[in-house]
Structure 1
């Protein structure tokens, strides 16, 4: 089965407003790609990202609020 990977080269990342200022607990999200919302650790931006479908991401955000 072929791997499906989102092309994140054009993603514009923003740091979560809940990330603290001392460099810990930093999460970045990109919400400008059609159909997907990638999330990554800002301390390792070249590392992997977890990619959610927009419906799953919306449900997650709704439940967190």
Structure 2
């Protein structure tokens, strides 16, 4: 789950960040709660998931719309 959180968080920076960001955060939280053997990867996945949501919020504010594109 930690690796999946990291990959989805990284992918979420480019596409579907409104979906992949929260999924990444939830997967990281579950991985940490279960005691993963890769806590660094889980924390990185959580940080990337939060970054996905921050990028979405900033892009929405700059474009004055609910969606954004590159």
Same fold (TM over 0.5): no
The TM-score bracket by the shorter chain reads under 0.3
- Greater strand proportion: 1
Larger fraction in helix: 2
